[in-house]
C-alpha cells in the first residue's frame, strides 16, 4: 500500500500503540531492580538526604538506597495506604508518633539492632525486641522576627503563656495539628504540661492571637523568617536553618518546657530485603550515624556524643518535657477532634 492510505495508517497506529505498551511495561519493570536496593521512606530534610546515603555507603557500598521523601503527614498517609502491600523496606527518619501508629497496625518488623545498649533508653521502643529506634529529637520552639518585632514594638516572648497576651494579637502563626505533626506535638505537649483543662484554656486564649494556622510545621518559622508573620510556633531545627541563611530571627525556648518528637527508624513488615534492611538499621544507630544526625540536631540518641549546633538555643535538653508518647498516640483522634471542634471553623464566610 502507498504511504498515507488507511491500511498503512492503521499499521502505524498499531505499531505506535505496541511501542507505548512496551514502554509502559519496561518502565514498570525498571522499578523492581536488584536485591541490594532498599526503598527507604523518610521525612528527613531533602538537603540532608544525599549526605545520609553517602555516609551509609562509605561503610556499605553494596546497598543502594532509593529515597521516597515527603513531609511527615504525606509519608505517614502513604505508608498507611500501602499497608496491605508495602513498598517500603525501611523507614529512616519519620516521627516516632507516626511509627507508633504503624506499630499498632502491625506494620513494623520488630528487630533489635546491634549496639542498641548505647542509646538513651527513651530513644528505644519499649517492646522487646523493639519495633523502632530513635535517631534524634526535634523540639518545639518559637521563632520571632526581630525586624518585625521592632516595627510592632512588642517584648520578646519567653514562655508559651506570654503568647496569649494582647500585644501579640494577630501576630502568631502555628501549624494546624490536623495536618501537621509538629502542630500535634505542640498541642499534646500543652495538654501534658498544663493538664487537660488548663491546656484547652491556654489554647482558647492563644487562638485569639493566632493570625492563621498552617498545614506544615516548618512553615510558621519560615514565614516568620520572611516577616509574613512576626512570630511562628515551629521547631528549633527549622529556626536554626533559617537563621543560618541570614533570616532576622530569634529562636525562643519557652520557659514552661517544650514538646518534642523523635525521628526514628524501623523495618517494614514483609520486606523482601530483610538482611539489607537489618544492615541499614544497625548502621542507623552507630556513633557515626549519630554524629551525622548531630550536624543538624542538637539532641541525638547517643547524647554523650552531641556537640552544640550552630544557632540552636541553649538548654534544649533540660527544657524537653517528659513526653508520654503512648498518651499522645492513644488520645490522638480524640484530641484532634476536640481541636477541630474548637478552632477549625474560625473563618466565617464573608
Q: Minimal distance in Å, beta carbon 211 to another protein?
A: 8
Question: Distance between CA 45 and CA 290 in Å, rounded?
Answer: 16
User: Which CB, 49 or 321, lies closer to another protein?
Assistant: 49
User: Which CB, 122 or 332, lies closer to another protein?
Assistant: 332
Q: Minimal distance in Å, beta carbon 222 to another protein?
A: 3
Q: Which CA distances in Å does 207 have to 64, 193, 200?
A: 47, 18, 10
Within 10 angstroms of residue 257's Cβ, the number of other Cβ atoms is 21
Instruction: Give the chain's radius of gyration (CA, Å).
Output: 24
User: Which CB, 82 or 120, lies closer to another protein?
Assistant: 82
User: Are 234 and 217 contacting, i.e. CB atoms less than 8 angstroms apart?
Assistant: yes
Q: Minimal distance in Å, beta carbon 32 to another protein?
A: 8
SS3 state of residue 320 = strand
User: Which CB, 188 or 286, lies closer to another protein?
Assistant: 188
269 contact partners, CB below 8 Å, separation of at least 6: 86, 106, 107, 108, 109
User: Which CB, 6 or 153, lies closer to another protein?
Assistant: 6
Q: Minimal distance in Å, beta carbon 103 to another protein?
A: 14
Q: Minimal distance in Å, beta carbon 282 to another protein?
A: 22
Q: Minimal distance in Å, beta carbon 285 to another protein?
A: 24
Compute the CA torsion angle 227, 232, 235, 238 (nearest 10 deg): -10
User: Which CB, 68 or 321, lies closer to another protein?
Assistant: 68
Within 10 angstroms of residue 127's Cβ, the number of other Cβ atoms is 12
Cis status, amide bond into 243, omega within 30 of 0 = no
Amino acid at each position: 500500500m502507498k504511504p498515507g492510505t488507511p491500511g498503512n495508517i492503521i499499521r502505524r497506529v498499531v505499531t505506535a500503540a505496541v511501542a507505548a505498551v512496551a514502554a509502559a511495561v519496561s518502565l514498570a519493570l525498571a522499578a523492581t531492580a536488584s536485591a541490594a536496593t532498599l526503598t527507604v521512606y523518610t521525612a528527613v530534610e531533602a538537603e540532608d538526604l544525599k549526605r545520609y546515603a553517602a555516609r551509609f555507603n562509605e561503610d556499605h557500598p553494596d546497598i543502594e538506597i532509593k529515597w521516597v521523601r515527603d513531609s511527615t503527614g504525606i509519608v505517614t498517609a502513604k505508608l498507611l495506604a500501602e499497608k496491605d502491600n508495602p513498598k517500603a523496606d525501611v523507614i529512616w527518619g519519620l516521627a516516632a508518633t507516626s511509627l507508633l501508629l504503624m506499630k499498632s497496625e502491625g506494620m513494623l518488623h520488630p528487630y533489635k539492632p546491634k549496639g542498641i545498649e548505647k542509646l538513651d533508653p527513651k530513644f528505644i521502643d519499649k517492646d522487646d525486641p523493639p519495633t523502632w529506634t530513635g535517631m534524634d529529637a526535634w523540639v518545639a520552639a518559637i521563632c520571632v522576627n526581630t525586624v518585625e518585632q521592632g516595627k510592632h514594638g512588642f517584648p520578646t516572648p519567653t514562655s508559651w503563656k506570654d503568647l496569649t497576651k494582647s500585644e501579640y494579637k494577630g501576630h502568631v502563626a502555628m501549624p494546624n495539628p490536623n495536618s501537621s505533626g509538629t502542630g500535634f506535638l505542640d498541642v499534646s505537649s500543652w495538654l501534658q504540661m498544663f493538664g487537660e483543662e488548663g491546656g484547652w484554656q491556654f489554647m482558647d486564649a492563644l487562638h485569639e492571637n493566632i493570625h492563621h494556622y498552617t498545614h506544615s510545621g516548618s512553615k510558621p518559622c519560615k514565614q516568620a523568617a520572611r516577616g509574613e508573620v512576626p512570630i511562628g510556633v515551629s521547631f528549633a531545627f527549622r529556626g536554626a536553618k533559617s537563621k543560618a541563611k541570614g533570616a532576622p530571627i530569634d529562636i525562643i525556648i519557652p520557659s514552661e518546657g517544650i514538646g518534642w518528637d523523635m525521628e526514628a527508624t524501623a523495618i517494614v513488615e514483609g520486606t523482601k530485603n530483610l538482611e539489607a534492611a537489618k544492615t541499614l538499621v544497625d548502621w542507623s544507630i552507630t556513633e557515626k550515624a549519630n554524629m551525622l544526625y548531630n550536624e543538624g540536631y542538637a539532641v541525638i540518641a547517643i547524647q554523650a556524643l552531641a556537640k552544640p549546633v550552630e544557632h540552636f538555643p541553649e538548654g534544649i535538653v533540660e527544657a524537653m518535657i517528659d513526653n508520654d508518647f503512648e498518651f499522645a498516640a492513644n488520645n490522638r483522634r480524640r484530641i484532634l477532634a476536640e481541636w477541630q471542634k474548637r478552632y477549625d471553623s474560625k473563618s466565617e464566610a464573608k
